[in-house]
Amino acid sequence: MSTSGSVLQVGPLKPSLAKTLADDYAARTLPESSAERAAFLAEHGADVTAVVTSGRTGVDAGLIAALPNLGAVINFGVGYDTTDVEAAAARGVGVSNTPDVLTDCVADTAVGLLIDTLRQFSASDRYVRAGRWPVDGSYPLTRQVSNTRVGIIGLGRIGSAIAHRLTAFGCTISYHNRHQVPDAPYAYAASPVDLAGGVDVLVVAAAGGDGTRGLVSAAVLDAIGPQGYLVNIARGSVVDQEALVSALVNGRLAGAGLDVFADEPKVPEELFALDNVVLLPHVASGTVQTRAAMEALTLRNLDSFLATGALVTPV
């Protein structure tokens, strides 16, 4: 295990992981207030060799600079766009994440969101609970899921798992990626606009970060069109949220299923009244089984780094 103070927790973590870090690794926690943080870093910054954080918090260039002996940023989560990977690389600091272990649950969530959005099950549930069925009669007809055309932005581990599931629904799958995926059995689109123009549902499964910021632009949303739907289980930053809200409010999109937002936990209030929009609080990987596997892999990365200087799943 580590020497006292060599492990630093940055931001909130799963309670059992935070407890293990404190109990078994004598980890300190970085204070949240800037004044306390500056004092803490002045006193303890040189002791820290490993940081454990999450994709919601991350480690920026300023914090990397304040930790002169940092060797690794260990990220609980598959997304690491909140960590300045370039600044880490420039300092020779390794960064790890927790890939694979959350693929199934995130893909399940994407399919669940797609079904709920097209069939409006959440809205139908509210309809029943509000006592409207006996008064207003049958719920309006909705959109079939099977045999629809689905475009996926980002055909990595998660995107491929989504495609695999939707193939069983008889959906026609196409995708856009930075590079065409060799041997992928799906049609490739050269741009997000090209992809969006030929599908009924666009699913966003791309990594976050500056390289994909605003990738789903107003032009892409317009290409999906008033009969089409958007599902996002990636990062809020990948979609132009202002353009998305405008398209939904003004009927230029048929609906959206969203697990992520640009400024979490804030969600645009204009969406609250729309029955064609399903809003989830970033729960795609939020199952007991997946979070336990993520925690175990996080600790494996930490143990490996402290013992050998190498990470199990470097990014």
Which residues form the catalytic set? 235, 264, 282
DSSP bridge partners of 278: 257
| Helix, coil or strand: residue 82 | coil
Q: Which of 251, 246, 203, 250 is nearest to 227 (CA)?
A: 251
Cis before 15 (ω within 30): no
Q: Report the C-alpha gap between 50 and 62 in whole angstroms.
A: 16
Q: Report the C-alpha gap between 291 and 13 in whole angstroms.
A: 11
CB 202 within 8 A of CB 231: yes
* Main-chain dihedrals φ then ψ at residue 56, nearest 5 degrees: -85, -20
Q: Which of 262, 304, 265, 301 is nearest to 78 (CA)?
A: 301
